[in-house]
Amino acid sequence: MADKRSKSLRATLIWLALAVAVAVPIAAAAMSPQLQWRDPVYIAAGFAGVIGLALMLVQPLLVGGYLPGFTPFQARRVHRWVGTALITAVIVHIVGLWITSPPDVVDALLFASPTPFSVWGVIAMWAILAVAAMVALRSRLGLRPRTWRIAHTLLVAVIVAGTVVHSLLIVGTMETVSKVVLCALAVLATLKVIVDLQAWRKRTAAR
């Protein structure tokens, strides 16, 4: 009974910590004075970026099985749903910025933008789209499981690194401390799952 209560308490604390890590940056951004007089499309694009960053913390936690209450199958299924939400957030972010200022988006896509954060954001964007293409065409690509894991892991590393640098370089609606904490947690969670799963190692079939 005590062990059951301990596990229940641990699960509650994990979910509570995740909720705080995700909700605080979003709430802080919602209260930012920089939102005053901003166009609704611009605000939507900005919040899509904030939500996308938050989802990058959730993804490795699901893959690594660190979130209680999910079976491995359920965790993988939710991982795919969250991945779809992440791609949607990226699309909304880009389309919103395009509607607000097409020349800036064109410069960013051509790596001609004078703002350094744009380069990192575009790199992360292409890596996300590459992962989406890999998932959609997985059966046609015929990749071996180990090759798939390595390619996916490398792209995820690029996505997280690019997004974190992109976010940290932007002085915008996100509050600095909560943003740094969220970025740090996303990096740590990603590194942990990469080390724990070791996609580069060969896996022997279970007997």
With 50 as the cut, is the pLDDT of residue 207 above it? no
Domain count for the chain: 1
Instruction: Identify whether 204 is part of a domain.
Output: no
The 8-class DSSP code of residue 201 comes to S
Residues 97-127 pLDDT 10s? 999 989 989 999 998 888 889 999 999 999 9
Instruction: Identify whether 205 is part of a domain.
Output: no
With 60 as the cut, is the pLDDT of residue 205 above it? no
Instruction: Identify whether 190 is part of a domain.
Output: yes
Residues 1-28 pLDDT 10s? 667 777 888 899 999 999 999 999 999 9
Write out the two tokens for 179. Answer: 């943003």
Instruction: Identify whether 26 is part of a domain.
Output: yes
Instruction: Identify whether 203 is part of a domain.
Output: no
CA distances 107 to 5, 100, 104, Å, are: 55, 14, 5
**Domain ranges, residue 42:** 2-197
In whole angstroms, give the CA distance from residue 52 to residue 97. Answer: 15
Instruction: Identify whether 207 is part of a domain.
Output: no
With 80 as the cut, is the pLDDT of residue 199 above it? no
